[in-house]
Structure 1
């Protein structure tokens, strides 16, 4: 049975929607749990709350509603929470969740719905997690909970193993997707019409994209549009629907740079460097490090913003790759730092980063992406960072 909890964003939810739960006699189930009061401050109350939340995340997601009376599992009355400061209570619960669960559950939302003056219902929306299982770690509890039709229960060894296997499968699908896409880039089976050159590829791959349950609709007005045109597209870029979803392309006389957004939620940012530049052989097959880092930073920032705009769920794999760069030189851009060590393989699949939140540290993620490129070129690390901040002009 569909309820307002399923049909509305949390921001839109109001007292009328909660009263409908009573009118329709909506019962507790795998995705709904009613609580008369907020979690108390005892250790037992805190532990119970953590198991409640993790049980939803380890199953199908759902809602906890505090300030609701139920009888035999059926919503009967809005009791309301009185004499509370809603903001302070939300902060308290958030702190409990941050410190009491491992790994953290991202995408949690809370709202205090005003029922009448001085009376609230606190609604906690818990997403289904794509990197389960989540363990209660408070006071070394170290147990795992899930939910069935009759409520939460402790997971046994077989179910825990099965949940871990599902998480591993999603990760493997994401890695295989990356390999397949790099092979297509090398074969010219992408929006890029250029082959003779180096392609720098950034992938942001939410694990939810590999469940088979996510399908974005990029039709205007369909809820997944618009999102801002990506950076570094050059003049005269164009955008269009395509087999995979939606693409932004640019390049002259051939398309060489593109941004591809898959209906599954996967994202691919590709920049092209031609193998010959002008008449000076000295600059042939050279990758300007500072320019590539700048492009990567802008693409990374845009990808994370787009993921939030499209309401994709973390976590995700983030990766940087190069196709066609064997024999190319990573140019440091400083006469005191020149070192000509050509890349020795193709493709270059640099290490993946596991992104737990789309509000992550851009500078930290950038450094994690580009340092392996410098390693492959014979350097210890990128010299363009000062105390963790990207500062290419400091030298």
Structure 2
């Protein structure tokens, strides 16, 4: 669908094709000919449409296209004096007049050839925190949903479904993670793994549990630029399996591996590595594993962009089989031991990290998880951040 294309990749030719092919408005696409920040009706319509998209399945609102019965009739664009200022206004206005706040929209401007006008694109993701209410004035404090090409007020049944979905989604994400951690601890993994503690990455898109959803993983298999790599794999392999795509490396002489990454067809990624742990001495790597995890998560998010996985997404970091391990430190070189610093539980399960946008620096968003793992070993925070808490890994 047109609205599923990454907003930064949409070009004027795409806008022109909407007219040429007479692409109609639907539950994910709406056209508006004009927009004025001083017009109360325009502002109400903006909030109503964005709320409805967010409460349904996401969508794209395009300003600068006149329509007749939902079919594009004229591509005229809109005169925009200051694009940066208008973009910030749109984001702040939507965020400030919705509850819970709709905060992950994207705004893009496409210049119209031979004109001073531009098309304004407002991309709204499907929400994970349903339902969202418009809070602009007493007459517009309502919930909206898309029915075909129209944004209509939600009825009691719609509201009940939305509230139940939010609760169910949170439970599904929690249950999936718990079940997978249990399976890893029970050696039920896509490849046989060596014994010992392991770091586990789970990346779960908001859309993963929608019925019937499957992504095109073929392009990941065939595109060398975006090949799926297991964490810190020296001799990476990639193959299809029952769940989707499996990346691993060559096993040892006993047929055991230390790392794999599983891309499920619904977009979920699970990646595991045990090389950051010395099982004989019960020692966990300190700063080095953080660098590798940041590198891997960055690569996985690039794959998400490639197959157009919609935000938001949840990132989880977990250490399994960790009880009794200690962490290397500047003071504890050569696998030195300090009994009072041993990890006191078998599973260190960090809280979810919610990504509403793709981060410019993955290391920055993973800091709470890295700090928590060091805390579990009796130390303060990660050493790979500077005095401003910016990702700045040490050598």
Structure 1 length as normaliser, TM-score? 0.81
Instruction: Please give the secondary structure, in 2, of the residue aligned with 1:344.
Output: coil
Q: Which residue of 2 aligns with 1:218?
A: 217
Other structure's SS at 2:345 match = coil
Task: Please report how far the alpha carbon of residue 68 of structure 1 lies from its aligned counterpart in structure 2 after TM superposition.
Answer: 3.5
Q: Distance in 1 between matches of 2:317 and 2:62?
A: 42
User: Do structure 1's residue 342 and structure 2's residue 338 form an aligned pair?
Assistant: no
Aligned partners of 1:360, 1:314: CA distance in 2, in Å?
15
| Residue 358 in structure 1 maps to residue 355 in structure 2 | no
Mapping of residues 186-205 of structure 1, within 5 Å: 186-205=185-204
Give the aligned partner of residue 388 of structure 1.
389
State how far apart, in whole Å, the 1-side matches of 2:233 and 2:71 are.
57
Deviation of 1:231 after TM superposition, in Å, equals: 7.1
- Cα 1:17–1:116, aligned 2, differ >3 Å: closer, same or farther? farther
* Aligned residues of 2:229 and 2:248 also touching (Cα < 8 A): no
> Does structure 1 residue 375 correspond to structure 2 residue 375?
yes
In the alignment, which residue of structure 1 is the partner of 2:44? 47
CA change 1:7–1:331 in 2 (3 A) is closer
| 1:105-254 map, 5 Å | 105-106=103-104, 108=106, 110-112=108-110, 114=112, 117-118=115-116, 120-138=118-136, 143-149=142-148, 151-156=150-155, 158-220=157-219, 227-230=226-229, 232-250=231-249, 251-253=251-253, 254=256
CA distance in 2, matches of 1:333, 1:108: 44
Superposed CA deviations along residues 358-390 of structure 1, whole A, max 9, x for unmatched, are: 226523322111222123223343354332124
Contact kept in structure 2, 1:307 and 1:358, CA below 8 Å? no
Contact 1:80 1:115 in 2 (8 A): no
TM-score normalized with structure 2 length = 0.81
Whether the 8 Å contact between 1:233 and 1:258 is mirrored in structure 2 is no
Q: Contact 2:202 / 2:268 at 8 angstroms: preserved in 1?
A: yes
Offset at residue 90 of structure 1 (A): 5.0
Equivalent residue in structure 2 for 1:302, among 299, 314, 329: 299
- C-alpha distance in 1 between matches for 2:72 and 2:245: 47
Question: Which residue of 1 is the match for residue 290 of structure 2?
Answer: 293
Residue 322 of structure 2 is aligned to residue 320 of structure 1? no
Contact kept, 8 Å, 1:209 with 1:265, in 2: the verdict is yes
Question: Secondary structure of 2:167's partner?
Answer: helix
- Distance, in Å, in 1 between the alignment partners of 2:60 and 2:74 is 16
Closer, same or farther: CA 288–91 of 1 in aligned 2, 3 Å? closer
Q: Secondary structure at the match of 1:389?
A: coil
- Residue matched to 2:268: 266
User: Any idea what the Cα deviations from partners look like across 1:29-64, whole Å, max 9, x if unmatched?
Assistant: 434433231243245532331222221221133343
- Whether 1:64 and 2:65 are equivalent positions in the alignment is no
Change (3 A) 1:129 1:276: closer
Supply the distance in 1 between the matched residues of 2:224 and 2:244 (Cα, whole angstroms): 12
Between the aligned partners of 1:216 and 1:325, the Cα distance in structure 2 is 34
Whole-angstrom distance in 2 between the partners of 1:66 and 1:292: 47
Does structure 1 conserve the Cα–Cα contact (< 8 Å) formed by 2:318 and 2:349?
yes
Deviations 1:66-121 (A, max 9, x none): 333344x3436316135445845556534533544443353645453637544555
Tell me if structure 2 keeps the 8 A contact 1:247–1:260.
Answer: yes
Structure 2 portions without partners, runs of 5+: none
Following superposition, the deviation at residue 271 of structure 1 comes to: 0.9
Q: After TM superposition, give the deviation of residue 200 of structure 1 in Å.
A: 0.8
Give 1:5 shift. Answer: 6.3
Residue 249 of structure 1, CA deviation? 1.1
Show CA shifts across 1:217-267 (max 9, x none).
332489987514537534322222222211221253331111221111011
Relative distance call for 1:37 and 1:330 in structure 2 (3 A) is: same
1:321 Cα offset (Å) = 1.2
Q: CA deviation at 1:343?
A: 1.9
How many residue pairs get matched? 383
Partner secondary structure for residue 56 of structure 1: helix
CA RMSD of aligned residues (A): 3.5
2:5 and 2:389 mapped to 1: Cα distance? Answer: 42
Secondary structure class of the residue paired with 2:66: strand
Closer, same or farther: CA 374–52 of 1 in aligned 2, 3 Å: same
